[in-house]
Structure 1
Amino acid sequence: MKKTVLILGSGFSSLSAACYLAKAGYNVTIFEKNKTIGGRARQYKKDGFTFDIGPTWYWMPDVFERFFSDFNKKPSDYYQLDKLNPAYSVYFGKNDYVTIEDTLEKICATFETIEKGSSIQLKKFINKAKDNYNIAIKDLVYNPGVSPLELVSLTTIKRLNQFFSSVKSDVRKAFKNDKLVQILEFPVLFLGAKPSNTPSFYNFMNYADFGLGTFHPKKGMYQVILAMEQLAKELGVTIKTENPVDKIIVSNKKTTGILSNGNEYIADIVLSGADYHHTETLLDKPFRQYTETYWSKKTFAPSSLLFYVGFNKKLKNVEHHTLFFDVHFDTHANAIYDNPKWPEAPLFYASFPSKTDDSTAPKDKEAGIFLIPLAPGIEDNRVIRDTYFSKIITRFEKLTSQKVADDIIFKKSFCVNDFINDYNSYKGNAYGMANTLLQTAFLRPKLKSKKVSNLYFTGQLTVPGPGVPPSLISGKLVSELITKHHPLS
């Protein structure tokens, strides 16, 4: 007899779990509070421009391939994937930038022009990162975070010291030039913590960057969401949009369903891919696993101030992905993690998808996405947003030697308050909970509730952690737990 699973949210982890559970024979329905699916990975369209609201980087293509192959599919069955060359560029000052190309050999050549002998160090560093990638992505991250023993194997014991040293210390031992150091420290920012607080083992992100490369799905990252939606529906999943969940019903310490839009829906299993902290507020207090004190003490990944901008001309001197590291990283990081406040001189990132994808902007125009990482929970209002837009556009013009402010057709912003309102995100965080040593694997919030039978969680606050590929994996992990504890036979 089929069992019913009700899923909260329709982001990557929820869609992933829905596909696996439907394939296994469960009756699956997704409840999404917004008008469109995708969670943080929605899309914004205006005047012929198309913007990915959330993730814009497509890394670790093998994880996407592994997901679709579990259903005898390929990404190419649903969307066109192009490898970017260059992958991205990094500005350090006016007309002073480093371009990262699409192969390790090219990147080594670039490094050598900046620091003599660095190409040899880089090859050693990336080989080590590749070994860690093979261990992590092909093995460790596919564990459900139930026991510390999941981390114990011959290969991990040999690398035990890598969990007690940091990416920052490793990078700075091997490279002296500050530009190269910042480029190599950049990828771990996707894990939500400072390089000084990220275990060395996570240098596998450098292999994802330099070894595997940066890709772009034609028409944007939302194509991946649409692909997963199509797959889910092919497998029999029902998706209900504009259906916020108001309460998780518990009887005799067991969930029996949910309340949404005033209606009660009965379920054998409830799975939340929504914000973990928010999901627990849908339970009566005795059934919540983690206190407010617990959450307040955790290291959360940053929030963001984002701008989606339509330009009335093509821009010069920028790539599809462009980073602006012309100010001191440690000062900005301090304003995110140590002394939460608005940074006076923020680093920022910009994406111009129309540089490589004509579908994202009208002819002879440019689509621009600007992102400033911020501490979660800080004050957010229109005046602050406009002030920071002026700051980064002024710097952008200076660094790239072009005037653009008068060529802006429109701009839309998205910040802390929007993350809270649209996604019920704890303190308005953008990326979930950071992967620090004490927030790794079994030390993260659990996939299975300890207090309510038949209640499960998935997504970037639980295992494996923040990012799109980990979210796909999280959906698979929780589906395996559900099929283990609630077999259909």
Structure 2
Amino acid sequence: MKKKIAIIGSGFSGISSAAYTAAAGHEVHIFEKNDIAGGRARQFTTANGYTFDMGPSWYWMPDIIEDFFRDFGTSPEHFYKLVSLDPQFEMIFNDGLMAIPEKYEDMRRVFEDLEEGAGPKLDKFMEEARIKYEVGMRDFVNKPCLSWLEFFSPKIARNALKLDLLTSFRNHVRHYFKHPKLVALMEFPVLFLGAAPADIPAMYSLMNYGGYGLGTWYPMGGFYKVSEAMIAVAQKQGAQLHLRAHVSEINIRDDKAVSLTVNGNEICFDTVIASSDYHHTETLLDKKYRNYTENYWQNRVFAPSCLIYYLGFNTRIPGLKHHTLFFENDLDLHAHEIYRDKKWPSKPLFYACCPSKTDPGVAPEGHENLFLLMPLATGIADNETLREQYFEEMISRLERHTGMTAMASRIDYKRSYCIKDFIADYNAYQGNAYGLANTLKQTAVLKPSIRNRKIKNLYYTGQLTVPGPGVPPSIISGKIVAAEINQLKHVPV
């Protein structure tokens, strides 16, 4: 039976769910509060010619993204050009840098040069990671996680021990590698999962395969090209996108979501999918209809927020690659200050993305486009004075790395983005940037449910529910919710 479906939010999970439900013949409407679609993957262009991606910048797990387009009879190549980065990225340490080559054999030599015997160990590590990736990303993460019984499949049973769910990622990495640079390299990808390596199950070494094994890519024109392409796919299926559409209430009658209040007007729907921040979505409901209490959210482990600077330079920056990780300081200390002490970091790590090294179209000729990101604890104080303090530190470390002096004087565009902005633009709980951390106690069925337990036609999708944070998981999340709706024979009553 054809249903009229409302989707709140146009991030990757919302657009994904829109495409799959529209393809099943439903009337689908996407409501986005901002003036551009894409959620955290928005993009903006400045008056002086810079184009900045506002969020995601690492194109990993290309096969998962390609799966979305294949489901609709197309491919990413129809919408944007992908470029493989070489090196994939550089890591800056106090005693020099380490470049991560595009080709696996070259990466293997880097490992062997740093630690005798690490080359064969890398082979074994990556083979195990490949198996986890195939089971995890092709079976495990595609479950709606409404019951543990979903995981009693022959394939998962055969590979249960190989998934390493009860081993910490930190211990798993140190079982193979001792050199601190190699340990840092292998631990880095789990930062995308929002927790310290000691608190993440070893199953997530699948991230190493999804990144290093499948390569680091860049879509020419910026990551927003992926959002644009997915929106185009969803619209081709019949989904309708409404911008500057603020949803202020989910209206319930007889324990059923019957309408949304959008820009002050009530619009009726048969089913509602919330791709908006889960906690915020629940505030659109009377307390008796919410899945979780405020105390529940306060006791979750959230992935970090971050301080971001979008910078335009009126000159080229020497010695800087497309992706650069500044790891001169201790990862454990920074992680502790994010998850335990919950304060601004004393010795931060940070990340620099310079897409103009690959894509001249994102900056005026002879200029440079630079994106700086420093992970932060959620819910802490955020003001311009603090932002500028850390900006100066990041610029100082960039100067040491590039040999370029007086970098701040070469800036002709500057914009900061931090906790307050994540709250204002995305209603993000405590200003989180990446959703819930993928700790063992917040995995699978232990994540917030995709179904409202009291309102049978209200669903949740996105980085605060299954399968978790990141672009590919968010795309999968939308598909999971759409599958739950599409298999229903009638509108729930």
Settle same-fold status: TM greater than 0.5: yes
2:28 and 2:238 in contact (8 A); partners too:
yes
Structure 2 residue identity aligned to 1:124: K
Aligned equivalent of 2:468: 465
Aligned equivalent of 1:433: 436
SS in 1 for 2:41: coil
Q: Structure 1 residues 3, 154: CA separation in 2 closer, same or farther (over 3 Å shift)?
A: closer
1:310 and 1:411 in contact (8 A); partners too:
yes
Q: How many Å apart are 1:151 and its aligned residue? A: 2.8
Aligned equivalent of 2:455: 452
SS in 1 for 2:396: helix
1:26-52 alpha-carbon deviations (Å, 9 max, x no partner): 000001000110011101211111110
- Partner Cα distance (1:400, 1:153) in 2: 52
Runs of 4+ aligned residues of structure 1 deviating over 3 Å after TM superposition are: 152-161
Aligned equivalent of 1:80: 81
1:184-223 alpha-carbon deviations (Å, 9 max, x no partner): 0001111111110000111100101211011100100100
Q: How does 1:111-190 map to 2 (within 5 A)?
A: 111-157=111-157, 158-160=159-161, 162-190=164-192
1:213-253 alpha-carbon deviations (Å, 9 max, x no partner): 11100100100111111111111111111111000000011
- Partner Cα distance (2:463, 2:190) in 1: 15
- Partner Cα distance (1:340, 1:485) in 2: 43
2:319 and 2:401 in contact (8 A); partners too:
no
Aligned equivalent of 2:327: 325
- Partner Cα distance (1:318, 1:26) in 2: 48
% of aligned pairs identical? 47
Structure 2 residue identity aligned to 1:334: H
Q: How many Å apart are 1:154 and its aligned residue? A: 4.5
Q: How many Å apart are 1:133 and its aligned residue? A: 0.4
Question: Within the alignment, does 1:413 sit opposite 2:411 as a pair?
Answer: no
Return 398-407 or 275-284, whichever deviates more.
398-407
- Partner Cα distance (2:277, 2:118) in 1: 42
Return 107-116 or 302-311, whichever deviates more.
107-116
- Partner Cα distance (2:267, 2:28) in 1: 12
1:405-447 alpha-carbon deviations (Å, 9 max, x no partner): 2211121000000000000000000000011101111111111
- Partner Cα distance (2:12, 2:382) in 1: 27
Structure 2 residue identity aligned to 1:319: K
Return 141-150 or 366-375, whichever deviates more.
141-150
Aligned equivalent of 1:71: 72
Structure 2 residue identity aligned to 1:27: E
Q: CA RMSD in A?
A: 1.3
2:7 and 2:274 in contact (8 A); partners too:
yes
- Partner Cα distance (2:170, 2:490) in 1: 45
Question: Within the alignment, does 1:108 sit opposite 2:112 as a pair?
Answer: no
1:51-84 alpha-carbon deviations (Å, 9 max, x no partner): 1001001110101111111111111111111111
Q: How many Å apart are 1:402 and its aligned residue? A: 2.0
SS in 1 for 2:146: coil
- Partner Cα distance (2:105, 2:293) in 1: 50
Aligned equivalent of 1:199: 201
Return 472-481 or 139-148, whichever deviates more.
139-148
Q: How does 1:322-471 map to 2 (within 5 A)?
A: 322-403=324-405, 404-471=407-474
- Partner Cα distance (2:409, 2:265) in 1: 50
Instruction: Give the structure-2-normalised TM-score.
Output: 0.97
- Partner Cα distance (1:350, 1:443) in 2: 34
- Partner Cα distance (2:150, 2:398) in 1: 46
1:140 and 1:150 in contact (8 A); partners too:
no
Aligned equivalent of 1:290: 292
Aligned equivalent of 2:224: 222
2:146 and 2:449 in contact (8 A); partners too:
yes
Aligned equivalent of 1:57: 58
Structure 1 residue identity aligned to 2:83: D
Q: 2:272 aligns with which of 239, 247, 270?
A: 270
- Partner Cα distance (2:325, 2:394) in 1: 12
Q: Structure 1 residues 59, 487: CA separation in 2 closer, same or farther (over 3 Å shift)?
A: farther
Structure 2 residue identity aligned to 1:44: F
- Partner Cα distance (1:234, 1:177) in 2: 51
SS in 1 for 2:228: helix
- Partner Cα distance (2:477, 2:410) in 1: 42
Q: How many Å apart are 1:483 and its aligned residue? A: 1.2
- Partner Cα distance (2:111, 2:9) in 1: 43
1:247 and 1:282 in contact (8 A); partners too:
yes
SS in 2 for 1:485: coil
SS in 1 for 2:92: strand
Question: Within the alignment, does 1:35 sit opposite 2:35 as a pair?
Answer: yes
1:356-387 alpha-carbon deviations (Å, 9 max, x no partner): 00111111110000000000101001111111
Q: How many Å apart are 1:301 and its aligned residue? A: 0.4
Structure 2 residue identity aligned to 1:470: P
- Partner Cα distance (2:401, 2:94) in 1: 6
Q: 1:213 aligns with which of 196, 212, 215?
A: 215
- Partner Cα distance (2:88, 2:152) in 1: 35
